[in-house]
Amino acid sequence: MTDISDAPQPEIGASIKDRTRSPAAKNTEFSDPAFAANKAQPVHRWVPWVAGFSRDFVRSALNRHLHKPGVVLDPFAGVGTTLIEANFAGHEAVGFEINPYADFACRTKLNAREVAPNCLGRAAEDFLEFHSTAMKRKRRPDTQAPEGFHTRGVFYSPKVLHKVLLVHDFIAGINDPVIADMFRLAFASTMVTYSNYSYEPSLGRKAAAGRPDVVDFPVALEIAGKLREMEEDIRFVRGHLSGNSPKAAVFNKSFFDSHDLLNASSVNLLITSPPYLNNYHYNRNTRPHLFWLGFMYSSKDLKPLEEQNFGKFWQTVREDEHIGLDFPIKDSEIFQCLKTLREKNPGRGIYGGNGWANYAASYFNDCHRFSKAAKLALRRRGTALVVIGNSILQGVMIPTDRFLAKIAEFAGLEVVNIHIPRATRVGNSIIQSKVRAAKAGKGQQLYEAVVELRKR
């Protein structure tokens, strides 16, 4: 990577207000982007996703920016909140998602309209019958647990494992691939509940969070409950949406490789949320799903996903001598921030500031790649809404929203506004983790912003 000097240089983005301190909540036309509300919404409730955003946020964005059918892009689709809402509202939807499980969830949800609810309902009844008979007869499962999936503690107790394997025996016998996918998703979205693991928000042992192991669990009933929810939502969707659905596509590819798949200047509205600068590892955290659904066979399969990911993982860059910005922006604030971070806790070796500065610089480099690719995809006067949270690394507040805005401006996009729909973000954030050294100072809040960009 080309390194750009850490020395202060002339500014760009002087119009983007300083936000090194916590912002106050601002009046905004956008709904709160947090995912929690999705847990009660048709189709969105099928799959919990730690960093998804809310249906209502996407709706408010669509209403504000698209007054006739258009093309909506989500470069970091997750489990598809943007794509589903856009498509159900009559827009063409296109997305990119590197995680094969999230991509699968997204695709299956987008297909909801095509599923015959009666068939799913009947299959769910057959499933319950099959499972209870197999349990009564103490049937030995034909399926085996995925060989390459290893966890420190036991993932499923022997009783739960037996039940789970019988679920997979049933799925293996389903002839209709669409119904089989609904079952696979119903299993995947519930599978951690009956394991000895949970999300805190990273995947960890329940015991470590002070909760008991799961010795036994009504696995088939849990999955049947999820299938009933799906059936209900399919009926709802089919009843509320009329006419032909516009095209919807999600590619299991990195957005950084989107040029072959996405026509230049084809997108009216981009709505997205990239991974935050908080080192959350989507791929490691979905290992159970990736292995059990057969998307991954060995831990080595994680490597390509790590390489494609927006932002590198701290663990993979902390030992590098110096990673700097690889694009020639001249912005004293970004340079000063990286410099301050780099100089923190030199005595702590790879746990000190240099590793975190490498991590932050890699993230900003990807903000630049993203901005260039977004500019290429957008039509003239097309808008990009990027939901992003700030971060605190080694006690240094990083106003990621403003930095992204400056970088996007450098890449040739116009910065229209930075909205703050959530002035306080809670949860297990990077500031609370012991390896992340200094805790946040007073007044250093985590918040969530919507960076509004436009192609000139």
Q: Using CB under 6 A, list all residues that contact ligand SAM.
A: 49, 51-53, 75-76, 78-79, 81, 96-99, 102, 254-256, 273-275, 282, 308-310
The string of DSSP letters for 371-399 reads HHHHHHHEEEEEEEEEEEE-EEETTEEE-
CB atoms within 10 A of CB 397: 22
Residue among 280 and 335 whose Cβ is closer to ligand SAM: 280
Residue among 310 and 410 whose Cβ is closer to ligand SAM: 310
d(CA 364, CA 325): 7
User: Rounded to the nearest whole angstrom, what is the least distance from the CB of residue 180 to ligand SAM in the complex?
Assistant: 23
User: Rounded to the nearest whole angstrom, what is the least distance from the CB of residue 7 to ligand SAM in the complex?
Assistant: 31
User: Rounded to the nearest whole angstrom, what is the least distance from the CB of residue 52 to ligand SAM in the complex?
Assistant: 3
Token pair, residue 136, equals 């009564």
User: Rounded to the nearest whole angstrom, what is the least distance from the CB of residue 98 to ligand SAM in the complex?
Assistant: 4
Rg (CA), the chain: 23
Residue among 81 and 371 whose Cβ is closer to ligand SAM: 81
User: Rounded to the nearest whole angstrom, what is the least distance from the CB of residue 290 to ligand SAM in the complex?
Assistant: 11
Residue among 127 and 280 whose Cβ is closer to ligand SAM: 280
User: Rounded to the nearest whole angstrom, what is the least distance from the CB of residue 99 to ligand SAM in the complex?
Assistant: 4
User: Rounded to the nearest whole angstrom, what is the least distance from the CB of residue 93 to ligand SAM in the complex?
Assistant: 13
Token pair, residue 88, equals 């159900």
Buried b (16+ CB within 10 A) or exposed e, 414-445: ebeebbbbbeeeeeebbbeeeebbeebeeebb
Residue among 219 and 250 whose Cβ is closer to ligand SAM: 250
CB atoms within 10 A of CB 79: 27
Torsion angles phi and psi, residue 393, rounded to 5? -115, 130
Angle at 251 between CA 248 and CA 255, to 5 degrees: 115
d(CA 104, CA 107): 5
Residue closest to ligand SAM, measured at CB: 78
Residue 299: partners with Cβ closer than 8 Å, 6 or more residues away: 148, 150
Burial class, 24, CB count within 10 angstroms (exposed 0-12 / middle 13-18 / buried 19+):
exposed
User: Rounded to the nearest whole angstrom, what is the least distance from the CB of residue 453 to ligand SAM in the complex?
Assistant: 17
User: Residue 31 to residues 46, 47, 49, 74, 382: CA-CA distances in angstroms?
Assistant: 21, 21, 18, 18, 21
The string of DSSP letters for 10-74 reads --S-TTS---SSPPPP---SSPP-BGGGGGGSTTGGGS--TT-B-HHHHHHHHHHH-SS--EEEE
Residue among 167 and 290 whose Cβ is closer to ligand SAM: 290
User: Nearest to residue 272, comparing CAs of 414, 388, 363?
Assistant: 388
User: Rounded to the nearest whole angstrom, what is the least distance from the CB of residue 419 to ligand SAM in the complex?
Assistant: 16
Residue among 53 and 194 whose Cβ is closer to ligand SAM: 53
Residue among 96 and 127 whose Cβ is closer to ligand SAM: 96
Residue among 170 and 447 whose Cβ is closer to ligand SAM: 447
